Structure 1
Amino acid sequence: MPTPSAANLFNEPGCAVNQAKGDKQRKVGCGARTLTPGAAAGGCAFDGAKIALQPIADAAHLVHGPIACEGNSWDSRHALSSGPQLFRTGLTTDLSELDIIHGGEKKLYRAIKQIVERFRPPAVFVYVTCVPALIGDDVEAVCTAAAERFATPVIPVVAPGFVGSKSLGNKLAGRVLLERVIGTREPDVPTPCDINLIGEYNVAGELWQVKPLLDRLGIRILASITGDGRYHDVACAHRARVSMVVCSQAMVALARGLQERYDIPFFEGSFYGIGNTGAALRQLARFLTAAGAPADLEARTEALIKAEEARATRALAPYQRALKDKRVLLYTGGVKSWSVISALHELGMTVVGTSVRKSTDDDQARIRELIGEEAMLFGQVPAKEMDRRLRAGEADILMSGGRTQFVALKARVPWLDINQEREDAYAGYGGIVNLARRLHGALTNPVWAEVRRPAPWAATEAPLEAAP
């Protein structure tokens, strides 16, 4: 049964999955699958909270628990920073057996003191893991005392792994920002074109593909939550004029909370693909104009979209002949399960199936609209089944996370990383050109013709004659 704080999130009116459940199912919470103890990477609420908040680059992120919790979750999402690198420093209280017996509160206080004195961060996030939650450490009291003593915000993130899934951890992280961070500071110079980007983690630098477009329109990202984020900017997020939610599964509750408390409207959008990028820019311009932005913003937005679409179309031309009608099996989740499909269709490719493991009902409705009723929608697929589909020739390429790359390689099918560990940015107009270049390189790589060819001895070897 989830904690009271977590249970409140299951009544989230902005979550389509939650609203489709009955009262009994809602009390049980999100993520029906059984959690695996120790499987932090991709598995538990602590991991979800950590990857959601860690991209705040100038803050210190202290894991209160055994060192393995920090080791399992450190830098698991390839979020980049344009400045401070403190967020990539692994900090943990490294609880031992003696700490479990005697309690870890004093050790936590000393760790916070050491961090503040050494790094002078604008804030310290303290993540509660399973062990201190089970032994009863009063982490919130320690954080309050440390914040008063060192004149630095010390924010407890109570999301021990056993309370639920990674998705729940994302939501708990959003609640922490809403309750303890946002609204604690005012921007130096507010503008009528300030926006929040929520659920954008700057994976592989994708935010940097979009920010120049907004800069050219005079739209300021007041707070990026949390990719390439800064603590003081996030604290000022309540002064934005509109919020764009990039990943609703993770952060829709935060967007709705900002709307209720500060009257900030929000919408869900995507920067994957030419059409989605243009639609997102138009929506931002429309909301900002209604909130008092310059009257010519929408006209300037249309001019920018026209110019950038023409440039992207020219850049895509060399790749589209090789990509046309190629079949893609997409094994990802969340917003990428539908937003990437639009980008692939613009490249002339066919999506034969996509995973809906972490997708909302709205996401699934978009997918059906994009790929039709005949395409496959599936959840978790065993490696053996995926291998069978690939060997049967159902897809020309697999796009997935790193954990399934070896299925494609064993089936001798090209593979491209689409998850957060990747090195390439696919958002915005420049991003779709990057995507086309990488797909073209994977599909036309001569290694696939070589590995699919029968071995020389298999083609020429004559059968053995029977012994006399």
Structure 2
Amino acid sequence: MLTDRLAPVFDEPGCATNRAKTDAQRKAGCKPKGPAPGAAAGGCAFDGAKISLQPIVDAAHIVHGPIACEGNNWDNRHSASSGSDLYRRGLTTDLTELDVIQGSEKKLWKAIRQAIEKFDPPAVFVYQTCVPALTGDDIRAVCAAATERHGRPVIPVEAPGFVGTKNLGNRLAGETLLEHVIGTREPETTTPTDICLIAEFNIVGDLWQITPLFEALGIRLLSCISGDARYNEVTYAHRARASMVVCSQAMVNVGRKLQERWGIPYFEGSFNGVRATSEALRTFARLLVEQGAPADLIDRTEALIAEKEAEVRRRFEPFRETLAGKKVLLYTGGNKSWAVVSTLQDMGMEVIGTSVRKSTNHGKDRARDLLGEEQKLLGAVPNAEMYRILREGEADIMLSGGRSQFVALNARRPWLDTNQERHHPYAGYEGFLVLAERLALTLDAPVWDLVNGHAPWEEGYTP
């Protein structure tokens, strides 16, 4: 039963909030507020599961549901690939009213067969949506039969939108990998420095800013879940020597269960900013040495960090004057709630507030330590209040996702995208410099003087 599989996800021992509950509260589960009716994009469990698994680039991803489910979800996260583009194909069973009446398991069976015959993927993920879940389609049985028939994994992703929020869908995707994928194959070789990244989705190439650092240290990225991943690489994530959960709100359950089942130590970290990147590299080096890697890895890591931080300081100088002292309103979620704070502070900017509405307790504690004031940790900020903060000059710029951009633009204040819709990578040392450049260009854009000055027909206008 789907409800039986949901209960363990609600009761997550790796979550500090759950650990603080009483036994009765823990047994009851999280019971998160469900998505609002009509929230077609970005709000449901299906969406969370799809964006978590779709970056496995060589697999076929079939959405079993009405075409709008795939249409509203397609390409809303810019996860980049260094190879196959199969993951970008919008594959769906396109259920109609007739399918609701007569059932759609046969249609799903034919869709799986067509995807395998046309694309020959190593695996197929089948995403259950609200309609077939309500009508009772047994996608587990269909996927099991298709696996036997076609000789390759056909994996059911049971995360219909009505069961909860996008974050719940992220964790259900992690449970899917743990149940059907991770541990099903063995790598050809292993090394003492094999690592796994969890909840790193290679947004516009973020991962590629980090992999050169690993290569310089002789650390092998054995498996990434799931940015720029190949299916086979995910299957042997259980042979990593250490793992890092990049967005703990999304997949802390994967990190915890890798540790419980295979003894792989994990930590929560980030590659946003100089300090966070250096800390992540140090932690990886320490964990790997504890697991048997050469002891000089720690010294080599410190040498690389010193070299990269010195280079960043030198290349950052052209932006320092523009950015120093500028006030920022940060309205984002997950690990970015604290990691981007660290990044902006490294640039000499002042964060007047950061949203922690999607952060774990660990993330809130990190943000609190960085900002030093409880009142700077924000929940959901109404658009009217956000507009007032910007219009009255309490913040010089807002960093957020695309949904909030029009508040800033209506207030005629600079805005920069920090979420998945962006077009530039901000991870690692190189990403820090890219973000600094984008901030400087945005703040210095001549449009702000024009839109906040006098119109040609007003008194005081000067051409």
2:279 & 2:83 partners in 1: Cα distance? 30
1:103 & 1:96 partners in 2: Cα distance? 10
2:75 & 2:450 partners in 1: Cα distance? 36
Q: Which moved more, 1:6-15 or 1:142-151?
A: 6-15
1:22 & 1:146 partners in 2: Cα distance? 43
Match of 2:127 in 1: 127
CA 38–142 in structure 1, closer or farther in 2 if over 3 Å, else same: farther
Match of 2:118 in 1: 118
Whether the aligned pair in 2 keeps the contact of 1:66 and 1:96 (CA below 8 Å) is: yes
Whether the aligned pair in 2 keeps the contact of 1:329 and 1:352 (CA below 8 Å) is: yes
Q: Is 2:49 the counterpart of 1:49?
A: yes
Partner amino acid, structure 1, of 2:390:
L
Q: Which moved more, 1:336-345 or 1:441-450?
A: 441-450
Match of 1:274 in 2: 274
Structure 1 residue matching 2:281: 3-state secondary structure: helix
Q: Which moved more, 1:447-456 or 1:108-117?
A: 447-456
Structure 2 residue matching 1:458: 3-state secondary structure: coil
Match of 2:225 in 1: 225
- Using structure 1 for the length normalisation, give the TM-score: 0.96
CA 357–103 in structure 1, closer or farther in 2 if over 3 Å, else same: same
Match of 1:146 in 2: 146
1:128 & 1:30 partners in 2: Cα distance? 22
2:105 & 2:303 partners in 1: Cα distance? 58
Partner amino acid, structure 2, of 1:111:
A
**CA positional deviation for 1:375:** 4.6
**CA positional deviation for 1:141:** 0.2
Partner amino acid, structure 2, of 1:378:
L
Partner amino acid, structure 2, of 1:289:
V
Match of 2:381 in 1: 381
Unpaired runs of at least 5, structure 1: 462-468
Whether the aligned pair in 1 keeps the contact of 2:109 and 2:142 (CA below 8 Å) is: yes
**CA positional deviation for 1:4:** 1.9
What's the CA shift string for 1:73-130, capped at 9, x where partnerless? 1111110001111000000000111111111100000000000111000000000000
**CA positional deviation for 1:455:** 2.1
Within 5 Å, give how 1:326-405 maps onto structure 2: 326-373=326-373, 375-405=375-405
2:274 & 2:237 partners in 1: Cα distance? 28
What's the CA shift string for 1:410-448, capped at 9, x where partnerless? 101000000011011111010000010000001111111
Question: What is the count of residue pairs matched by the alignment?
Answer: 461
Structure 1 residue matching 2:457: 3-state secondary structure: helix
What's the CA shift string for 1:22-75, capped at 9, x where partnerless? 456556654643422342321100000000000000001000000000001111
CA 28–39 in structure 1, closer or farther in 2 if over 3 Å, else same: farther
Partner amino acid, structure 2, of 1:247:
C
Whether the aligned pair in 1 keeps the contact of 2:34 and 2:164 (CA below 8 Å) is: no
Match of 2:161 in 1: 161
**CA positional deviation for 1:450:** 1.2
2:52 & 2:31 partners in 1: Cα distance? 18
Match of 1:207 in 2: 207
Partner amino acid, structure 2, of 1:401:
G
2:61 & 2:291 partners in 1: Cα distance? 36
Whether the aligned pair in 2 keeps the contact of 1:400 and 1:417 (CA below 8 Å) is: yes
2:431 & 2:297 partners in 1: Cα distance? 24
Whether the aligned pair in 2 keeps the contact of 1:320 and 1:347 (CA below 8 Å) is: yes
Match of 2:301 in 1: 301
1:49 & 1:374 partners in 2: Cα distance? 33
Whether the aligned pair in 1 keeps the contact of 2:2 and 2:158 (CA below 8 Å) is: no
1:147 & 1:82 partners in 2: Cα distance? 27
| CA RMSD between the two structures | 1.5
4+ residue segments displaced more than 6 Å: none
Structure 2 residue matching 1:459: 3-state secondary structure: coil
What's the CA shift string for 1:4-29, capped at 9, x where partnerless? 21111121110112233445655665
CA 78–176 in structure 1, closer or farther in 2 if over 3 Å, else same: same
Partner amino acid, structure 2, of 1:454:
H
Match of 2:3 in 1: 3
2:114 & 2:365 partners in 1: Cα distance? 50
Structure 2 residue matching 1:337: 3-state secondary structure: helix
CA 217–361 in structure 1, closer or farther in 2 if over 3 Å, else same: same
Within 5 Å, give how 1:170-185 maps onto structure 2: 170-185=170-185
Give me the identity figure in percent: 63
- Using structure 2 for the length normalisation, give the TM-score: 0.97
**CA positional deviation for 1:297:** 1.0
1:381 & 1:452 partners in 2: Cα distance? 24
Whether the aligned pair in 1 keeps the contact of 2:34 and 2:162 (CA below 8 Å) is: no
Unpaired runs of at least 5, structure 2: none
Q: Is 2:186 the counterpart of 1:186?
A: yes
Whether the aligned pair in 2 keeps the contact of 1:2 and 1:163 (CA below 8 Å) is: no
CA 452–265 in structure 1, closer or farther in 2 if over 3 Å, else same: same
**CA positional deviation for 1:365:** 1.0
Match of 1:465 in 2: none
Whether the aligned pair in 1 keeps the contact of 2:11 and 2:29 (CA below 8 Å) is: no
Structure 1 residue matching 2:364: 3-state secondary structure: helix
Whether the aligned pair in 1 keeps the contact of 2:246 and 2:269 (CA below 8 Å) is: yes
Partner amino acid, structure 2, of 1:114:
Q
Partner amino acid, structure 1, of 2:109:
Y
What's the CA shift string for 1:369-424, capped at 9, x where partnerless? 10111652222222122111111111000000111111111101000000011011
Whether the aligned pair in 1 keeps the contact of 2:43 and 2:165 (CA below 8 Å) is: yes
CA 234–34 in structure 1, closer or farther in 2 if over 3 Å, else same: closer
Match of 1:19 in 2: 19
Structure 1 residue matching 2:55: 3-state secondary structure: coil
Match of 2:290 in 1: 290
What's the CA shift string for 1:215-253, capped at 9, x where partnerless? 111101111000001100000000000001101111110
Whether the aligned pair in 2 keeps the contact of 1:30 and 1:165 (CA below 8 Å) is: no
Whether the aligned pair in 2 keeps the contact of 1:401 and 1:417 (CA below 8 Å) is: yes
Partner amino acid, structure 2, of 1:90:
G
Partner amino acid, structure 2, of 1:161:
G
Structure 2 residue matching 1:152: 3-state secondary structure: coil
2:170 & 2:453 partners in 1: Cα distance? 46
Partner amino acid, structure 2, of 1:102:
Q
Q: Which moved more, 1:33-42 or 1:53-62?
A: 33-42
Structure 2 residue matching 1:222: 3-state secondary structure: strand
What's the CA shift string for 1:136-167, capped at 9, x where partnerless? 00100000000000001000000000000000
Q: Is 2:437 the counterpart of 1:437?
A: yes
